[in-house]
Structures are given as C-alpha cells and as structure tokens.
Amino acid sequence: MNIEDLHNLQNDPYNYALRLKKEGGKKVVGYFCSYTPEELIFAAGATPFRIFGTRSTINLADAHLQSYCCSPVRIALEEALSGKTTVLDGIVFPHTCDSIQRLSDIWRLNVPLPFHIDVVLPVKLNSESAREYMIDVLHKFMKELEKNLEVKITEEALRHAIALYNKIRESIKTISDMRLINPSLLKGSDFYSIVKSSMIMDRNDLAQILSHIIQDLGAKKETPDVTFRKRLVLTGAMCNHPDFYQIVEDGGGVVVWDDLCTGSRYFEGQLDSTGDPVISIAERYLHRIECPAKHSGLSTRAENLLDIVQNKNADGVVFLIHKFCDPHSFDYPYLKKHLDNERIPNTLIEMEDQASIGERLKTRFEAFLEMI
C-alpha cells in the first residue's frame, strides 16, 4: 500500500472493512470519537474502525435528527441507515459530546448490529475519583467486549496491543517531525490521510506501512524546503476536508501542528508498557490534552494552545469548527480571547462535511494568510 492507496481508503472505508473480513477473517468493530479505548478492541482480536462519514447526501438521517445537528453525526447515521455499516460486527459509543450520545440512542433503535456498547467515561478528568471511575469503566468495557466477541482478553494480548499502539503513535509522530523539518517531503493532505487511515486499517499492516513511509521519506534526497511559509496551527474537532491542506499550501502556508481528532489527539501520548495495561490506557486519557467535551481545568485548553503556538513557532491559528458543533463552538470565544490577548492572529472556518470548502471560505482564508 502506498499513500495514494491511503487516500482511496478514505473515500470508501466500508469496502476496506469488507475486504478485511472476507480476506483476513477479521472482526471489525466500529467506533466514534478519540475517547474510545481502541487498544481494548484490538486486544479482543478485532479491528477498531473509526466511523468517518464520506460525502453523503443526507436524506434518511433527517427523519431522526434535527437539521441543527453537526454533519459528522448526520452523515454517519445516513450511511448506517443506507446499509453501509452492516459490515460491522459491533459498534462502540463513548460518552463524549451530546451529539454522539444522542446518536447512540438513535442508532441502538434503528441500526441493527450484533452488539452496541456505550462506554460511559467521566466528563471531569482531574480528580482521583475520576481516575478510579475511568479504570472501572474500562474494566467493564473489557468484559462487555469479551462477552460479545466471545473471547478472553489476556494480559499478553493487552501488552501486545499497548506495544503496537505505542509503535504506531511513535511512527506517526516521527513522520510529523520529518515534515516539520522539511515540509516538501510530504504534503499536508498526505499526512492527513496517514493519520485518518491509522484509525481504520488493520493495525499490524498499518505498523509496517508506517515503517516503510518513514524509510521512504528518510531516503528522499530533496534538500530542505527553505521557502518562507506561514506556519499555522489547526484546532477543532476533526477535519474531513483533505483539500483544505492544499488550500493552505497553495496560499503559501504550512500546517505545523494541530489539535484535532484527525491529528495529534490521535497520536499524542505513549502508554506505559510496564504497569497495569488498563491503568495505562486510563492514564493516557487523563493526561492527554482534553477536547472540550471533557474537562480538566478552567484554562487548560487555552494554555495548551498558547504553548503549541510558542513551541512550534506558529504565525497563526485556524479554528476548524463544524457547523452546530456545540463543544467547540462554546470553546471558541474563550480560546480566541486568549489568542487575541497575546496578539496571535487567528481565524474561524466553519465547515460541513458534505459540502466542499467553497470559494467564499477559500477567499477569506487566503486573505487571512496574506494578513499574517
């Protein structure tokens, strides 16, 4: 598989899941949100498969969801109701934003799959009771997986999962670092495809592909790109628009870091491979920079964003927010205030997954790039 294959995988992930099952004899378990402990699904012998909507037209979902619901949720339901998710052996919903929680209720009633698990994680993450509760929830989830997938999750399987996930996350981080040194090595949209595919693919195959990509990038003889580029940080829920990265690069910019589910939120943070595996998984969630659907302090997200801007020597911040995404929309004014106080240029791009970025937003974004 090469990077082009990874791009294609984004366009038709369910076809890939079908092949995994038919050719690899794998069980495939769908999930939403980066708060799903996918290491446990992997340790249960199944492939965790993050549900990202493709560019569907929304018809069927409108009978169940109000139109002021975010597009990732509406598209996911549309694809499920149109039969695309029948390939899945089960589905997992973590307790995160309201939209995902309500989608879980609707899905349970309308999308028959062999099993449906809600993982009710704590919202507040910075207390001892939250830690204990998180560990209990993970143990409960493990038992539910064992029952539904008819397997025993052994300590050995858990340790193998942790080692593999550490390797995968480390490899993605290495690729990201290589790009930072020389952006011409890999386009932003290619890196985006690598991260997104990492949440869908067979993880053993993925680990190998990532090693090959690192080798290939290391072997490239191109001299470092010294073109002056505006260095940008992206923040929001997720980006389902690979063309956005092209717009950034065409406009003379480069994405130097992100705070997105389709980026660092997935690959940041190693798991402790020496201690209790379930506690290690809990600790990563407790210490990772939270998304605004969770809470670990009044200003942790703002402080983190300011740190990123400083550490990555960024020229500006782009808020990529889905229309009707409550957690990120409520977070935006306070984050913006912190950036404005530090005179860090920032702009807001509001997007919907089923629509292309559009000329109006493109022009506005280009104006922002010129301004900084």
**Interface region with ligand SF4, contact rule CB under 6 A, candidates 5-13, 66-74, 154-162, 275-283:** 66-74
Residue 238 CB, nearest distance to ligand SF4 (Å)?
6
351 belongs to the binding site for ligand SF4 (CB under 6 A): no
What 8-state DSSP symbol labels residue 34?
Answer: T
Length of the chain: 372
42 belongs to the binding site for ligand SF4 (CB under 6 A): no
Q: Are 130 and 124 in contact (CB under 8 A)?
A: yes
Q: Are 83 and 91 in contact (CB under 8 A)?
A: no
Helix (H) or strand (E) holding 244: helix 242-250
70 belongs to the binding site for ligand SF4 (CB under 6 A): yes
325 belongs to the binding site for ligand SF4 (CB under 6 A): yes
Burial class, 333, CB count within 10 angstroms (exposed 0-12 / middle 13-18 / buried 19+):
exposed
| Two structure tokens written together for 62 | 């409108």
| Two structure tokens written together for 216 | 């290939």
| Two structure tokens written together for 123 | 């919202």
Residue 28 CB, nearest distance to ligand SF4 (Å)?
19
**Interface region with ligand SF4, contact rule CB under 6 A, candidates 85-93, 97-105, 129-137, 184-192:** 97-105
From 16, 20, 28, 34, residue interacting with ligand SF4 (rule: CB under 6 A): 34
Residues 6+ apart with CB under 8 A from 4: none
Residue 351 CB, nearest distance to ligand SF4 (Å)?
10
74 belongs to the binding site for ligand SF4 (CB under 6 A): no
From 14, 16, 35, 319, residue interacting with ligand SF4 (rule: CB under 6 A): 35
263 belongs to the binding site for ligand SF4 (CB under 6 A): no
Distance between CA atoms of 102 and 65, rounded to whole angstroms?
9
What 8-state DSSP symbol labels residue 61?
Answer: G
From 20, 65, 261, 318, residue interacting with ligand SF4 (rule: CB under 6 A): 261
Instruction: State which residue, 37 or 327, has the beta carbon closest to ligand SF4.
Output: 327
100 belongs to the binding site for ligand SF4 (CB under 6 A): yes
369 belongs to the binding site for ligand SF4 (CB under 6 A): no
Tally Cβ neighbours within 10 Å of residue 286. Answer: 19
- Please name every residue paired with 108 in a beta bridge, in sequence order, or none if there are none: none
Enumerate residues 145-164 that contact ligand SF4 by CB under 6 A: none
- Please name every residue paired with 50 in a beta bridge, in sequence order, or none if there are none: 31
52 belongs to the binding site for ligand SF4 (CB under 6 A): no
| Two structure tokens written together for 332 | 């935006």
Distance between CA atoms of 283 and 243, rounded to whole angstroms?
35
**Interface region with ligand SF4, contact rule CB under 6 A, candidates 108-116, 241-249, 322-330, 331-339:** 322-330
**Interface region with ligand SF4, contact rule CB under 6 A, candidates 68-76, 79-87, 162-170, 227-235:** 68-76
Distance, CA of 252 to chain centre: 26
Catalog residues that contact ligand SF4 under the rule CB under 6 A. 33-35, 70, 72-73, 96-97, 99-100, 237, 261, 291, 293, 322, 325-328
